[in-house]
Structures are given as C-alpha cells and as structure tokens.
Amino acid sequence: MKGLLLRELYNLKLYFRQYLLVLVCFCVFGIGMDMPSYMMWMSLVVGINLSFSAFTMDEAGGYAYLLSCPLDRKDLILEKYLTVILNAVMMLAYSSVGEFLNHLIKGTGTESWLATVFVVQGIYFLVTSVLVPVAYRYGVEKTRIVMMLIILTPVVVILVSVKILDMDALIQISGASRSLFDMLPYLFFAASLMVFGGSYLISLKVFEKMEF
Amino acid sequence: MEVAISLKNVTKKYENFTLDHITMDIPRGSIVGLVGENGAGKTTLIKAILQMNFIQEGEILLDGKRMEDAMPQWKDSAGVILAGVEFASRLNARQLGACMSKVYGHWQAETFEKYLTVFQIDRNKNIKDYSRGMKMKLDLAVALSHQAKTLIFDEATSGLDPVVRDDILDILLDFIQDETHTVLISSHIISDLEKIADYIAFLHEGKLQFYMNKDELLYQFGIVHCTADEYGNIPDTYIQGVRKNQFGCEVLVNHLQDFQKRYPGYHTERTSIENIILFYVKGEKR
C-alpha cells in the first residue's frame, strides 16, 4: 500500500505548481474580498477534484495492473480512502495558512474559522463518501454526473428554501437553542466521519465482487 | 514433476461465453504457451489464475496451495505482464521503480537499474510517451526485478516488431534456465511459442482442445495429402480435421507414426503448430 500512496504523491507532485497557483489566487481573492471562508470553500472544490483525479488514474491504467501485484483488494480501497484523508489534511493546512494570512493582513478575528473548517471538512467527507463507492461501481464517467448532481442539489435546496421559508424567523434563534446551534458544525463533522466509515465498507463490498 | 500451477475443472461462465472445465498442470521449470483465437478464453483463464475474476467451479492450486490461501502473497513471486494496462502513465521509470520497491517484498533496485540500462529505457521520460515496445520492456524489467519464480504474459508481445519480440523470447529462455522458474505465455503469434514453449495448450471456444508437450505434438500430428477416395479409407480414429480442395484432400491425422506404418502408400508430411490449430478451428470434421 505504501507503493500506491507514493504513486499518489508523485502524481500530486506533477500538478503541484498548477494547484499551488490556483490556491494562491483563491487566497488573494479571499483576502482581497475580506472573505477568509472563500478560501476554505474553494479548497473544498480543489480537494474533491484531487480525490477524483486519483480514480481517473486507476481507471485509465486498469485495475488489472494493480491486481497483478501482491496487493489485497482491501489495500487498494484503504489506500484510496487514505488519499481522501490526506487531501483533507492538505485542505486544512491551506485554509489555516489562508486564515493566518488574512488575520495578519486584515487583522480580522478568527472566532468562526474553526466552525467553518468543520463544516467544509464535513461536506468534503460526505461528498467523497458518495463519490468513492459510485466511482468503483459505475466508473469515473458516471461519477462525474453524480458529482454535478451533488454540487447542484444543495444550491437548488438553498434557493428553494429561501423562497419558501421565513428565513428571518429561522435566523433568530433563541438563547437556549443557541448552544445547540453552535455545536452543529462539530456534530455535522462527526456524522460525516461516520458516513465516511460506512462508505469505506460499501466500497470494500463493491470492489471485492468486481471482476476485471 | 513439480507443479507450479494446477487447474482442476476450472469453469467460468459469462452470459455469452463459458470457460469450460479446464484441467491442466503447469510444470515447474517449463514454458507453457497458451494459444487460441480471439475470445477463446486465454485471458479469462489467466485472470482466473490471478484472481481477477472468480471461477464458479473447479480449483486452482498455486505452488500446491489453494489459490484462496496463496493470494496475494503468491503474486510477490510472480511477474505478470498484461497487454494494455499500466501502473501510472504519468510517472517515469525511476518513479515506477520507487513505487514497486514498496509493492514487492523482494524488490531488487540494482536489477531494475540493470534492465533499464540493458533495454535502453529513458529513466526520466513519462511512461505515456514510451513506444509500445518500450512499455513492454519496462514491464518486463519490473517483472524480472523482484525475484519472480513465475512469469505470466497475456498477449504481451502482440503488436511488437520482430526484433523486440526476439529480444523478449531470449530473455524468457534465459529466465527459464533456472529450473525453479516457470513461464505461462498466451499469444497469437504461434511461431514465437513454437520457438520457446515446452508445452502448448490450445483453447477453442472456452474448451481445452489439447495440452501437450510441443515436441510430442509435432511428432504426433501430420498432414496426409490424398484424393477424396483415399480419404474415405482413413479410419475416423486418425482424423482430426480435413480441408478439401479441387486437387484432393489435406487431412490432419493423429498418431502419425502409427498411420504411416498402416498406410505406407499415403503421402504424409510433418506440420506446424499453426497448421494443427487451423485444422482444429477451420478444418471439416467427418
């Protein structure tokens, strides 16, 4: 499995400059617009893209090559999930640096930063939890469609909610429920990790039955 | 005779194809050539051995152990080359070597470096930019750099020029000098197999038509040139296939020596493996 992780790192190294350039741009925009969370949301897009490209590589090369090596099917799945986690760590590192720079330049507070990090990471794990087993089962091309649906669905839901619901009433949260509201990002993150664990088991089940 | 790979009634059913009760033992220290037309089941059989597909019936033994127990460790001692697949096309040979050193337990970096030099492989060029022959040589370098005892090639030499193919055959012959080594190679290019194989296994429509020592095969089968009337006099037991044309008949006969003794008046000649297979596939049956 170490060999597979090394391969992911070599691939990452290939695109390192491009990704770095994109992330620096996001950082500049984020600080310029005084929106540090912008960097985090953009890192989410980059993180999902990175995880997705790992599958593209496997599918293009053929899983048959990997299975001709002394690698267990479990190892292949575990490596892919570790790659997803590795990308999450890089997202976190990037948003931390961005937030630090923003704080340094603009002197803004960092109170809501941690909560936003947990929300963004939670979304990342939820999205990859869906994408990984789908990619194994249906291949990369169909997963692209699923990815588009995943991105579009929350946007549609939010737009519809704003139209239908009385948002002002929702925003005015009472003091008692305030503490629960503050806990939501962390609970959401914990739930996403559980879903991620479930996703691993599903992927394992799917991949163990696959023939090449 | 020690057996490296043993197949017992191996059956794999697909919607439109069945690999049908394949039984064969691949002896250690030998090169076994797997031949057959497209869709005959060669790749399915090789993938069954590598546990890339799951057989519905039968049993596969690898070095005497049940496949389920032997995997995935057995692959550590196997070098596998499959056509059209690769580890990562955007890596270069040096990076591939670094990854493989973590994948294989007995990786020998010096051996890999030696083969890269021998094969004149550019270490810093992306694998995707290699020619097909270069990719094949790189795969071969990987296969030979982790103390593999068994090499499995699936159509790996197809599409390569004769010079590269000849180089590869030489390497295989060199590899097999160690009596503990074994090679299973499937190919369309029967002349290649005729050069190097000790045994020939012929698959046709998912069934194993024959699995024989190559010399025995060439000794046992022959072609009889005769008229239609003379053909009528040949007993069924000898006939494997016949081709009729305006000049008479060409008959593939089994037990050639015996036939020659019984029918000295018939014009017979030795034949090639390619011809034997063509008679099996395209020849008429009586």
More confident residue, A28 or B176: B176
Task: For residues B250 and B126, state if they share a domain.
Answer: no
Provide the pLDDT for residue B152. Answer: 96
Q: Taking CB atoms and an 8 Å cutoff, what residues of chain A touch B52? A: 64, 67-68, 211-212
Provide the pLDDT for residue B125. Answer: 92
Provide the pLDDT for residue A175. Answer: 59
Task: For residues B60 and B137, state if they share a domain.
Answer: yes
- Please work out, in degrees rounded to the nearest 5, the angle formed at the alpha carbon of residue B71 by the alpha carbons of A134 and A212: 35
Domain extents in chain A: 2-209
Could B82 and A3 be called an inter-chain contact, meaning their C-beta atoms sit closer than 8 Å? no
Could B91 and A10 be called an inter-chain contact, meaning their C-beta atoms sit closer than 8 Å? yes
The residue of chain A nearest to residue B99, with distances taken between CA atoms, is A3
Task: For residues B180 and B203, state if they share a domain.
Answer: yes
* Contact status, residue A120 vs residue A41, Cβ threshold 8 Å: yes
Task: For residues B160 and B247, state if they share a domain.
Answer: no
Provide the pLDDT for residue A169. Answer: 60
Per-residue tokens: A103: 């704080």
Task: For residues B116 and B86, state if they share a domain.
Answer: yes
Distance CA B203, CA A208 (A): 28
Which one of B50, B54, B98 has the shortest CB-CB distance to A68?
Answer: B50
More confident residue, A96 or B63: B63
Provide the pLDDT for residue A110. Answer: 66
Using alpha carbons, select from B266, B195, B211 the residue that is nearest to residue B253: B266
Task: For residues B209 and B232, state if they share a domain.
Answer: no
Provide the pLDDT for residue A173. Answer: 57
More confident residue, A18 or A6: A6
Provide the pLDDT for residue B222. Answer: 94
Task: For residues B96 and B234, state if they share a domain.
Answer: no
Provide the pLDDT for residue B32. Answer: 97
A34: left (phi over 0), alpha (psi -120 to 50) or beta: left
Full domain range(s) for residue B229: 221-282
Q: What per-residue string of b and e applies to B191-213 under the rule 16 or more CB within 10 Å gives b?
A: ebbbbbbbbbbbbbebebbbbbe
CA distance B36 to chain A (A): 20
**Residue B245: Cβ-neighbour burial (10 angstroms; 0-12, 13-18, 19+):** exposed
Residue A174 has pLDDT above 60, yes or no: no
Residue ranges of chain B with pLDDT lower than 50?
Answer: none
Could A71 and B73 be called an inter-chain contact, meaning their C-beta atoms sit closer than 8 Å? no
Could A60 and B89 be called an inter-chain contact, meaning their C-beta atoms sit closer than 8 Å? yes
The residue of chain B nearest to residue A4, with distances taken between CA atoms, is B99
Task: For residues B104 and B135, state if they share a domain.
Answer: yes
Q: What per-residue string of b and e applies to B72-103 under the rule 16 or more CB within 10 Å gives b?
A: bebbbbbbbbbbebbbbebbbbbbbbbbbbeb
Per-residue tokens: A93: 């590192």
Quickly state the pLDDT bin for A163 (edges 50, 70, 90): confident
Q: Taking CB atoms and an 8 Å cutoff, what residues of chain B touch A62? A: 82, 84-86
* Contact status, residue A79 vs residue A89, Cβ threshold 8 Å: no
CA distance B229 to chain A (A): 51
Provide the pLDDT for residue A171. Answer: 60
Residue A202 has pLDDT above 90, yes or no: yes
Task: For residues B191 and B225, state if they share a domain.
Answer: no
Task: For residues B96 and B169, state if they share a domain.
Answer: yes
Is A138 an 8 Å CB contact of chain B? no
The complex scores an ipTM of: 0.84
Query: What is the residue type of B201?
Result: A
Provide the pLDDT for residue A172. Answer: 62
* Contact status, residue B89 vs residue A82, Cβ threshold 8 Å: no
Quickly state the pLDDT bin for A78 (edges 50, 70, 90): very high
Provide the pLDDT for residue B155. Answer: 86
Number of domains present in the structure of chain B = 2
What pTM value is reported for the model? 0.85
As a whole-number percent, the residues of chain A with pLDDT over 70 amount to 90
Quickly state the pLDDT bin for A176 (edges 50, 70, 90): low
- DSSP class of A165: S
The residue of chain B nearest to residue A57, with distances taken between CA atoms, is B88
Could B104 and A69 be called an inter-chain contact, meaning their C-beta atoms sit closer than 8 Å? yes
Residue A200 has pLDDT above 90, yes or no: yes
Which residues numbered 84-123 in A keep a CB inside 8 Å of some CB on B?
Answer: none
- A12-26, A46-60, B134-148, B168-182: the lowest-pLDDT one: A46-60
Task: For residues B106 and B240, state if they share a domain.
Answer: no
Could A68 and B52 be called an inter-chain contact, meaning their C-beta atoms sit closer than 8 Å? yes
Task: For residues B161 and B276, state if they share a domain.
Answer: no
Provide the pLDDT for residue B244. Answer: 87
**Beta-sheet strands, E only, within chain B:** 3-13, 18-27, 31-35, 57-62, 65-66, 78-82, 150-154, 182-186, 199-204, 207-213, 222-226, 239-245, 248-253, 267-270
**Per-residue pLDDT tens digits for A99-155:** 788 777 877 666 677 888 898 899 999 999 999 999 999 888 888 888 888 878 877
Which one of B52, B90, B103 has the shortest CB-CB distance to A11?
Answer: B90
Provide the pLDDT for residue B147. Answer: 93
Provide the pLDDT for residue A158. Answer: 74
Domain boundary among B158, B187, B213: B213
